[in-house]
Structure 1
Amino acid sequence: MSRLFPAFLFLSIILQAATAPAISSIREMVIGPGKSGSEPATVYPLSLPSAPRPTKTETWKIGVYLPVAGAYREIGQRLRRGLRLALKSEAEIQPEMWRLLIVDSTAVEPARALVLFRKNQVVLVLGPLQSRLADASVNQAIALNLPIMLWAPRPELCARNRLIFQHFLSAANQGRALAELLRQGEEKKIALLYPENDFGRDFRASLIANLGPEQTHSLVRESFYDPHSVDFSSAIKLLQTLESQSAFPQSFFNHTVQLRPDYPFSALVIADFYPRLRLLAPQLRFFGLEQCRIYGIIGGHPPRRAGENGKALEGTVFLDFCGNLTPAPPRSQNYRDLYQTHYGETASIYDLYAYDSILILQQARQNLNQGKACDLPQALLSLPVMELAGGQTQISADGEFSKKLCPAVFQFSKPPPKNRIDFLGAPQD
């Protein structure tokens, strides 16, 4: 029997936070799922009025489409904590002027969730986090004329409509940042090694698109590997010159003699995180790449100094996220301390992005109140570069909010910063 969700059926949640009782005063409600029945689906006309624009004294209802149950329950809990912490802790925010209406993305399909939000007159939807729900959510948001800010790492969806925004670390964001770093450096001939999955392909496309003119910086070799593999020999061999490929051993695991093949590049970009690079490191050495400058990405996986494989990455240039390899900016450190104080555990990338989402909306709200924009999408698109908990944040013309990622050289002997941002494990779609 199908589940139907009456528009005005609310399941109230009393928020209890033993370590931070003040946070429980934030108004948060879960809407749907409701009782089974025969209520027909709502059919909207092709042309709907825009989402409501509250006056200065009206409460802003924010729809939040996140996992409440299931495998991603902890991530959903982190997102909610970040939202509530921002509403209660930021001096310029009046928590009584905000209301969070939550729909469980593990139980309610995007089409129904967006209808629920529209019926309850939210001004914008935050979420979903899962990439597989992003397309349907965007399509329905456009149909309902409802602004949405995706947490799914799908910035390309912003180009579909001025109502669509995206705010989460993505492959495109990291590929673009690494291309900018390479353009500023001395390496002119570059190779790319990437996983054969959506992340790897998106990273590759972004890197190539942003690398610049071929006469100054050129991608001379590229190869991909199975993201579930532990033997990367065949992928690494494809980076060699043709002469070296025919003369070199076929597998890292079947030979112990180290030869010196030819590589027509001076920099190797690996579109993967530290845990994978630790597996790759000894194989790169075996295939004669220890003298090549390695570039990697951190995302939410801060390098750790455990094991000799980690030592082999000495000198690798990582794109640092939010001070996970270097000292954190003051506002980022303040956020980590605040989260630790309220919840007794390390902050994560999820609650941090949720926290910053509220700060972004607060800035847009101020723009509207001051008459600097005619509606919420325009208010968001006109925001300046902001210093937020996740670092310097700016919006593109399409609606992608991206964080500034800074290069940092990995030093095995140097203790990493304390109280870093945790990743918890990425959603697998």
Structure 2
Amino acid sequence: MLISKNSIKMENDVSKLRQEEQAELAVFSFNPISSHLFKVNVTISKPVIDVLYQETVLLFRKKNLDGFGQNAAPVEYIEENYDVEVNRRIKTYVFRHVIVDFLFKELISRKIPFANYPRLIHVTSADDNVLIFSFDLSLTESMELKEWKNFAFKTPKRKRYKDLDKQVLQFVDQNTCLNKRVNSSIVEEDDWVCFSSTLLDQNMAAVIPMITSCFWTKIKKNEISNKFKSSLIGKSLGESFISNDFYFEDDTDYYENLNHHFSITIKAIVKGKLLSIDLFKQNFKLKNKAEIHNKIMEVFSFRNDISQRRTIIEEIFNLLLAKHRFEVPKHLILRRQEDILATLMHQPDYHVYKSQKDFLKYVELLAEKDLKEETIIDQIAYKENIAVSIEDIQFYLNLLSNKRIREFTYFKPSTEKIEDMDAPINHGMLAHTILREKTLNYIIHMLTH
């Protein structure tokens, strides 16, 4: 049990927390277990847990429970008979709406280079009514970077088929025209939407004003039956509304239609059907139409089924890793192999791949390659003090949404295809991935100009 039954002081505790605008929401601690393994604890403060417990008990009272009508079940009865369910709701909410973004923000701000995602080990409640989320975190090798900006790099040449230039011109003209006709301030099908969410109480006031979560989600045509995603269509940038349809699938495992209300605000919209030429020009630091043309050509020009863009990336990593020699610990490779295999298992051709004699060896080499690339990228990102803005995320998702130029994105926020994920994605997870993507683009720019 998170708090004792007799500690419910509904209005007083809620009022007190709302007045403490500077109250400490969470505490981050970082303790070594071995040279490459650390334990990270994120502790949520007592006032936050107390208020969430009170609000969740009130939510359960709205349900017809065990013969009691709505709002008729005594608080003490719910505490005694639904303690497990109430606490599970609190842990789920705190993890999704507080912990994930807070954890990634702390890791990035403290410049902690890590391999693989932090792994949640357990959640415990202490005697003083705090909630502690414990993670295992694998650190990558620290290294002294050489003067990589002075490395000699020759950009791989493009194919010279005349038709390629015509294709690029048509692509640019088409997207330029579409940009003029599309209303970029209204949510439509195929768009990516960034929204903030704030938990509301029974009076539709913020339960804990300092907790405002930020998520990204894609509005896919086959998901219009999803009430929450459907409610986003037609909304304007900056528009706010109240919804009790925003929840993750496993939030309602215990009791159907027992959902919190949230205040939702549309923070950003990324059009999914076209490329923003302005964002493209700005993020790749392009000066004129000729440079835009040449940059887009990188994903139109292929040699031996590999695009010029991918060849540039591969050769830059070969150069960086040749100049910075290091080994990846075996346990990190094994963990990444697990992630890769878990993804491959959902692909239709998995059994065909698996039947190949060198399949597992290939997966091992791929895992090692990914980890080495991420390690060197993280080191450069922190050394160069590269930061991620919401515009960087918009640009990344804009590229990802367009199949013709998707190859401009290299790093992914998980081993899954994020455009196929049903659940909203935490802003912090995307920011961590796009820090790597932005750093890669920075390196390419420095070595090719």
Structure 2-normalised TM-score? Answer: 0.25
**CA radius of gyration, larger in:** 2
Whose RCO is larger (CA < 8 A, sep 6+)?
2
Structure in which a larger fraction of residues adopt helix: 2
